[in-house]
């Protein structure tokens, strides 16, 4: 087995593992509830530490609890909204799109890293993806759920949201296909569907493993049902790998198109600061940037609590940090270009936009632009240092900074541009309300809630791909030591 | 049973279990050389080269996906063209009724959606799923074929199949275990 | 005994031939006032290709992909200090005819136009020439440093040079993109009176990278059975390069289409003019033709595994892409001054004349070093994997 002692190439799985121990380490997170109470919270008051049972002191319970509270906040916010109408939100003329659309774009962006990790890196044959793709994909699905809520509720009458879809109806109406909002409906629902398919296809062999490992009758039936009767025959695997590659090949352009279409929501209009040709690639890069930040922010604690250090190694963090650095630079390039061309245009309206963003003493929302630069450009610049890329504490906080920064980016683009439209008579201000913030906190809670349910009930790391990786590493090592190619060394012998 | 099918358990085949993919690959090779044709391997990970040994090279799934993609593109274009020109034609922002550049995004999404359906459901259907119980699961070795064992099957429908001979042959492949598999009642 | 690939000799011959034919054709058109427009088209194609080569060199050093080693010499020759210096010299005819190309250099026009007036302290002859000259100097330094360090690394076998090269290129890439963006803005975009597009710089950058990949693929495809390419042109290499070309083809289509869609949909006077000119009369059919020949055909060709496996087909597709790049550049530059689609002999003449000089310089640089960098550890590794 691969070892860690100063090899030029760091292994992607550290330590001694066999197929059986991989099953136990990853699969039992699902099958054995005790795994969730192994890690215990340390800094809790003494009286609580004594009186509470172990289950309630685990990080899993803490995060799940926070998520649960968030879900309740979300439910309250939605109830108030639906009973009263979207007037309870802060958006009004001239700022018709406020926190709801910011959060929509923010969540969609976070979701993209998941698809990217699973699809593009599969096509590029990057094996380091194997240990993070499963929960990154889960992250995608839950992030898209959070995102989808906002436009749905923003319609004002979410109970007739199905009108957005093309179907023959008694109103004799059809969607208006020249509107980017309709493209959004198609893009986001396609994205959601394809993400779920891709995720489920990836899970099928792992469900079969869990089915065969499960001890309780219920788990056997449940996983047996989900595995669809997967038997792992050579023919099945042949079609399976073919389907996975094709799904990856379809998901990659899909990710690009989804965020491009999100950017078209703005770019198709003529609001100064929105009708910008660099928007599609710049939005996509921003999405990847934010998404990788979220993957890192989730992976660091999970790795610690579930002792996954062997599978999610420093090499993984280094790679992800490099992707963040690269996409962060593209985003920074976007900021520079927007500012430069707003000035270069010579058009008073575009120059007004520039003034509105950067003049800290005169423009009411310029603070948001400078915060965006701080969180998205200045702080992430630390990633140039290889030491920082491998310092998990620093990496965690940089990821947090990026998540906040990307939120501000959308804040600057969406409401701040709308406060200064063409006519000075319709200039205005935007102030979000408690319901806006409640919705935002609520979706974060919902996201955590779903993530930790996922960790409890489904394998967090792709089991069969880890075994495949292990086999490849074994194979390479045999080659390296000059063994004949097909000499069979039983895996357990090591 | 009312439909009069023979429901008594029948022999399904003989399986041998191995510890590594290389062993399975070597065994499958020798089994094929020994003249058996209805053989299959079951493994927790895809075994590179096994389909070559089994002379299984199916590419229909690619065409299914491609076909679905083309269908999706046609649906996307057709839907938008028809609704904007005939079913619900009206002037939006002075743009032409057939605003081809603006029809592109939805067409694109429809193409990908249908192609993804083709790839996923095509794979599931070609694999004969969902089918939670199959005769092969009666083999005890199969419990670990999804974990850390590599199982080789010679089906009873093979023209050269003779249980004792196959069992004896398989013992020569240095397996961990060899067993006969029966179909369940009702199959 | 395998033949030795004499790429340099081939390019030298072709270069001289192109220069002679080009000069003759160009001379026919020299009398009219349009010749500078023709020259600008020919010049831009080779400039964008040069910068594409330099960009791919930097990308290769940063990403350290295996695909780069067999072709990095081609990129170094195409985007090296000599090529960049020549491109810098190539601006001289442009500088001598600024008012014929740039509205901001036309005093009568500026006097009538308040928008041009607000920009006049940025877009004036002195500052413009200074910016363009500075860009070329910095780019040439980048290219020279990279090339020198790679050579040092080969001579000494010292891994520190490799690390330096990687670090330099990673940071260099950031400045490269910014500089090139401003250079393209000055040279190309400022020919339009009011039009601007934030993606313009990257758009041209992608065109150049695609052209450079096409050029490298054409060389590999035609020379695949000659030494030293016979040892490196393996299916994994053509597959990786083919996929890279596929990615850049898609990127080009993506940028072109989204730019068009945003401007078409916004329909604001200062933006729409650019595409209005380019969709008038026969230009419309050229635009549609480019969509098919520039995207759909290469996309489908590169999607097929066979293209990426058979070196001859691969080389053909590379050459095809390079030719399409020239037509695309015609579409990007020429309609600014020409309201009807027509191709003058001087257009082709300028393309061949500048190309002839470019090819001769390319051949000259190729001769100074082996075609494939053997001593780099990564290539050995790549060969082992193959």
Residue C97: enclosing H or E segment and its boundaries? none
- Between C120 and A39, residue with greater pLDDT: C120
Residues A345, C196: C-beta atoms closer than 8 Å: yes
The number of domains in chain A is 1
Q: Between vectors from CA A238 to CA A232 and to CA A244, what angle results, nearest 5°? A: 95
pLDDT at A481: 43
Q: Does C121 touch chain A (CB under 8 A)?
A: no
Put simply, the answer to whether A260 touches C198 (Cβ < 8 Å) is no
Residue-wise pLDDT tens digits, A413-452 = 888 888 887 888 888 888 889 999 999 999 999 999 998 8
Closest-CA residue of chain B to C266: B93
Residue A474 lies in a domain: no
- What would the two tokens of residue A119 be? 């699809």
CB pairs under 8 A between A and B: 197
Q: Which fold has domain B10-58+135-183?
A: Alpha-Beta Plaits (3.30.70)
Q: In which residue are the tokens 């910008």 written?
A: A276
List of chain C residues whose C-beta atoms are within 8 Å of the C-beta of residue B104 = 257, 261
Range with lowest mean pLDDT among A17-21, A360-364, C7-11, C323-327 = A17-21
Q: Could you give the residue range(s) of every CATH 3.30.70 domain in chain B?
A: 10-58+135-183
Q: How far is B59 from chain A (nearest CA, A)?
A: 9
Q: Determine phi and psi for B182, rounding to 5 degrees.
A: -115, 150
Residue A328's domain comprises 65-457
> Of the candidates C1, C14, C3, which has an alpha carbon nearest to the alpha carbon of residue C366?
C14
The answer to the question of residue A462 being in a domain is no
CB atoms inside a 10 Å sphere around CB A323? 20
Question: How far apart are the CA of B146 and the nearest CA of chain A, in angstroms?
Answer: 5
Domain contains A19: no
Mean pLDDT, chain A, whole residue set: 82
Tell me the average pLDDT across A252-267.
90
The verdict on residue A53 lying in a domain is: no
The pLDDT score that the predictor gives to residue A12 is 67
- Quote the CA–CA distance of B15 and B9 in Å, as a whole number: 17
Is pTM, for the whole model, over 0.90?
no
Q: Do C262 and A279 touch (CB under 8 A)?
A: yes
- Predicted confidence at residue C379, as pLDDT, reads 54
Whether residue C52 has pLDDT greater than 90 = yes
Under the banding of pLDDT at 50, 70 and 90, the label for residue A39 is low
Mean pLDDT of A281-308: 87
Parallel/antiparallel/unpaired status of strands B150-155 and B177-182: unpaired
Q: Chain-wide mean pLDDT for chain C?
A: 86
Separation between Cα atoms, residue B10 and residue C59, nearest integer Å? 63
Edge-to-edge strand list for the sheet holding B150-155 = B39-42, B150-155, B11-18, B177-182
Q: How confident is the model at residue C3 (pLDDT cuts 50, 70, 90)?
A: confident
Q: Which residues pair with A233 in a beta bridge?
A: B42
CB-hemisphere CA count at 13 Å for A67? 16
The minimum CA-CA distance between A152 and chain B, rounded to whole Å, is 19
The pLDDT value given to residue A2: 35
Test mutation, B65, B73, B101, B106, chain C, max C CBs within 10 A: B101
8 Å CB contact between A262 and A409? no
Residue B6's pLDDT is what? 57
Helix (H) or strand (E) holding B64: helix B60-82
| A278:C199 CB<8 A | yes
pLDDT at A309: 77
Q: How far is A151 from chain B (nearest CA, A)?
A: 18
Q: Which residues, in sequence order, are bridge partners of residue B15?
A: B153, B179
Q: Are C52 and C208 in contact (CB under 8 A)?
A: yes
Percent share of chain C, pLDDT over 70: 94
In a domain, A18, yes or no: no
Strands B39-42 and B177-182: unpaired
Query: Does residue A148 belong to any structural domain of this protein?
Result: yes
Percent of chain A with pLDDT over 70: 85
B vs C, Cβ pairs < 8 A, gives 12
Q: Is B155 left (phi over 0), alpha (psi -120 to 50) or beta?
A: beta
Between A309 and C297, whose confidence is greater?
A: C297
Instruction: With cut-offs at 50, 70 and 90, classify the pLDDT of residue A488.
Output: very low
Once rounded to an integer, what is the mean pLDDT over residues C74-96? Answer: 90
Q: Does C299 touch chain B (CB under 8 A)?
A: no
The reply to whether C264 touches chain B by the CB within 8 Å rule is yes
**What residues of chain B score a pLDDT lower than 70?**
1-8, 185-187
Q: Exposed/middle/buried for A252, CB within 10 Å: 0-12, 13-18, 19+?
A: buried
**Residue A455 above 80 pLDDT?**
yes
- Is A159 inside any structural domain? yes
- Structural domain includes residue A36: no
Q: How far is C83 from chain A (nearest CA, A)?
A: 27
Which has the closest alpha carbon to A410: A245, A287, A253, A236?
Answer: A287
Q: Does C248 have pLDDT greater than 80? A: yes
Tell me, rounded to whole angstroms, the distance of Cα B134 from its chain centroid: 14
Q: Could you tell me which chain A residue has the CA closest to the CA of B106?
A: A183
**Beta partners for B39?**
B154
| B contacts of C261 (beta carbons < 8 Å) | 101-102, 104
Other chains touching B, judged by 3 or more CB pairs under 8 Å = A, C
The answer, yes or no, to whether residue A484 has pLDDT greater than 50, is no
- Tokens representing C77 are 């020759």
Using an 8 Å CB-CB cutoff, list chain C residues near B93. 267
Please give the ipTM for the structure prediction.
0.88
Q: Nearest CA to CA, how far is B46 from chain C (Å)?
A: 21
Distance CA A358, CA A412 (A): 11
Distance CA C44, CA C184 (A): 9
The residue-averaged pLDDT of C298-316 equals: 88
CATH of the domain at A356: 1.20.1630.10
Burial tier of A393 (Cβ tally within 10 Å: 0-12, 13-18, 19+): exposed
Look at phi and psi of residue C195 and say left if phi exceeds 0, alpha if psi is from -120 to 50, else beta. Answer: beta
Q: What mean pLDDT comes out for the span A107-131?
A: 79
């Amino acid at each position: 087995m691969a070892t860690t002692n100063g090899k030029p190439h760091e292994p992607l799985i550290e330590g001694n593992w066999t197929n059986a121990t991989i099953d136990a380490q990853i699969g039992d997170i699902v099958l054995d509830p005790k795994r969730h109470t192994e890690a215990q919270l340390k800094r809790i008051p003494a009286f609580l530490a004594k009186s509470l049972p172990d289950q309630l002191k685990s990080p899993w319970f803490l995060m799940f609890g926070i998520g649960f509270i968030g879900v309740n906040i979300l439910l309250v916010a939605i109830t108030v909204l639906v009973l009263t109408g979207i007037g309870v939100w802060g958006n009004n003329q001239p700022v018709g799109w406020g926190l709801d659309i910011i959060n929509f774009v923010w969540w969609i962006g976070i979701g993209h890293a998941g698809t990217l990790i699973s699809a593009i890196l599969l096509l590029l044959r990057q094996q380091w993806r194997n240990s993070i793709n499963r929960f990154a994909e889960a992250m995608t699905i839950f992030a898209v759920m959070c995102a989808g809520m906002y436009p749905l509720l923003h319609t004002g009458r979410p109970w007739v949201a199905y009108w957005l879809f093309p179907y023959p109806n008694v109103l004799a109406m059809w969607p208006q296909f020249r509107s980017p909002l309709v493209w959004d409906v198609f893009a986001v629902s396609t994205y959601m569907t394809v993400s779920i398919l891709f995720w489920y296809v990836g899970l099928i062999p792992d469900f079969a493993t869990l089915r065969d490992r499960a001890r309780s009758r219920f788990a056997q039936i449940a996983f047996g049902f989900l595995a669809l009767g997967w038997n792992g025959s050579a023919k099945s695997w042949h079609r399976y790998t073919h389907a996975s590659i094709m799904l990856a090949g379809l998901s990659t352009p899909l990710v690009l198109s989804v965020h491009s279409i999100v950017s078209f929501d703005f770019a198709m209009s003529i609001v100064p600061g929105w009708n910008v040709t660099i928007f599609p690639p710049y939005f996509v890069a921003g999405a990847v940037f934010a998404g990788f930040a979220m993957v890192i922010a989730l992976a660091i604690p999970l790795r610690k609590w579930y002792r996954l250090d062997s599978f999610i190694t420093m090499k993984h963090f280094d790679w992800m940090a490099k992707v963040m650095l690269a996409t962060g630079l593209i985003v920074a390039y976007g900021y520079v270009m927007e500012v430069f061309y707003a000035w270069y245009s010579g058009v008073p309206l575009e120059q007004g936009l520039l003034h509105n963003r950067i003049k800290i003493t005169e423009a009411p929302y310029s603070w948001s632009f400078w915060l965006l630069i701080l969180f998205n450009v200045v702080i992430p610049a630390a990633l140039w240092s290889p030491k920082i890329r491998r310092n998990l504490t620093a990496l965690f906080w940089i990821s947090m900074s990026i998540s906040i920064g990307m939120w501000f980016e959308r804040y600057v683009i969406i409401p701040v541009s709308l406060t200064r439209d063409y006519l000075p008579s319709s200039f205005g201000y935007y102030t979000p309300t408690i319901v806006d913030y409640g919705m935002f906190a609520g979706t974060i809670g919902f996201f955590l809630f779903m993530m930790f349910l996922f960790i409890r009930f489904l394998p967090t790391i792709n089991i069969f791909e880890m075994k495949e990786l292990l086999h490849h590493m074994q194979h390479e090592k045999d080659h390296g030591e000059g063994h004949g190619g097909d000499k069979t060394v039983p895996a357990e012998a090591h | 049973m009312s439909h009069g099918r023979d429901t008594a358990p029948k022999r399904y085949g003989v399986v041998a279990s191995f510890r590594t993919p290389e062993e399975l690959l070597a065994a499958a090779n020798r089994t094929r050389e020994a003249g058996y044709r209805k053989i299959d391997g079951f493994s927790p990970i895809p075994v590179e080269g096994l389909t070559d040994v089994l002379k299984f090279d199916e590419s229909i799934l690619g065409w299914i996906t491609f076909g679905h993609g083309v269908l999706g593109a046609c649906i996307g274009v057709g839907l938008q063209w028809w609704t904007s020109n005939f079913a619900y034609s009206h002037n939006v922002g002075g743009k032409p009724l057939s605003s081809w550049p603006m029809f592109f995004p939805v067409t694109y999404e429809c193409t990908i959606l249908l192609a993804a359906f083709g790839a996923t459901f095509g794979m599931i259907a070609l694999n004969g799923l969902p089918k939670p119980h199959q005769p092969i699961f009666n083999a005890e070795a199969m419990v670990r074929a999804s974990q850390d064992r590599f199982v080789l099957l010679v089906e009873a429908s093979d023209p050269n199949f003779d249980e004792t001979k196959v069992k004896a042959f398989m013992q020569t492949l240095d397996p961990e275990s060899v067993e006969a598999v029966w179909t369940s009642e009702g199959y | 005994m395998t033949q030795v690939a004499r790429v340099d000799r081939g390019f030298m011959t072709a270069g001289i031939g192109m220069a002679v034919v080009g000069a003759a054709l160009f001379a026919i058109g020299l009398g009219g006032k349009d010749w500078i427009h023709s020259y600008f088209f020919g010049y831009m194609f080779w400039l964008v290709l040069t910068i594409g080569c330099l960009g791919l060199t930097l990308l290769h050093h940063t990403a350290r992909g295996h695909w780069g080693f067999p072709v990095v010499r081609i990129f170094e020759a195409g985007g090296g200090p000599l090529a960049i210096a020549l491109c810098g010299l190539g601006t001289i005819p442009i500088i001598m005819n600024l008012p014929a190309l740039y509205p901001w250099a036309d005093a009568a026009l500026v006097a009538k136009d308040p928008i041009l007036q607000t920009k006049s302290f940025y877009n004036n002859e002195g500052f413009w020439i200074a910016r363009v000259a500075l860009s070329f100097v910095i780019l040439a330094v980048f290219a020279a440093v990279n090339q020198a360090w790679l050579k040092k690394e080969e001579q000494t076998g010292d891994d520190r040079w490799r690390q330096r090269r990687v670090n330099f290129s990673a940071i260099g890439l950031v400045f490269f993109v910014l500089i090139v963006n401003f250079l393209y803005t000055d040279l190309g975009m400022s020919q339009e009176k009011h039009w601007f597009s934030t993606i313009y710089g990257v758009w041209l950058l992608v065109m150049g990278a695609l052209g450079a990949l096409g050029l490298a693929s054409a060389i590999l495809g035609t020379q695949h059975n000659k030494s030293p390419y016979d040892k490196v042109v393996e299916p994994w290499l053509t597959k990786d390069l083919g996929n890279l070309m596929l990615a850049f083809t898609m990127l080009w289509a993506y940028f072109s289409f989204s730019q068009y869609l945003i401007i078409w949909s916004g329909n604001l006077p200062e933006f729409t003019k650019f595409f209005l000119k380019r969709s008038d009369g026969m230009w419309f059919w050229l635009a549609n033709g480019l969509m098919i020949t520039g995207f759909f055909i290469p996309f489908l060709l590169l999607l097929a595994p066979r293209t990426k496996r058979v070196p001859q087909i691969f080389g053909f597709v590379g050459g095809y892409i390079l030719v399409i790049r020239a037509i695309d550049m015609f579409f990007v530059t020429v309609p600014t001054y020409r309201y009807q689609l027509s191709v003058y002999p001087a257009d082709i003449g300028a393309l061949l004349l500048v190309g002839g000089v470019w090819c001769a310089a390319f051949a000259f640089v190729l001769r100074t070093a082996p075609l494939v960098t053997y001593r780099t550890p990564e290539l050995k590794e790549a060969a082992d994997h193959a």
